[in-house]
Structure 1
C-alpha cells in the first residue's frame, strides 16, 4: 500500500517537470 501512496506523488513531480520543460521550450521558440 505504501508504494501506491508514493506513486501518485512521484507522477505529480514528473508532470510538473514536464510542464516546466515544455514552457521553457515554448518561451525559447517564441
Structure 2
C-alpha cells in the first residue's frame, strides 16, 4: 500500500493528506 500521498478522513470529517510512510494512530482507531 505504498502511495505518494495518503489521504485520511478524520473523525470530524476533515480530510488530511499525509506523505507515504507516515503512520497515523487515529486511522487504526477507526470503527
* TM-score category (smaller protein): under 0.3
When you count helix as a share of all residues, which structure comes out higher?
1
* Higher RCO structure (Cα 8 Å, ≥6 apart): 2
TM-score normalized by structure 1?
0.21
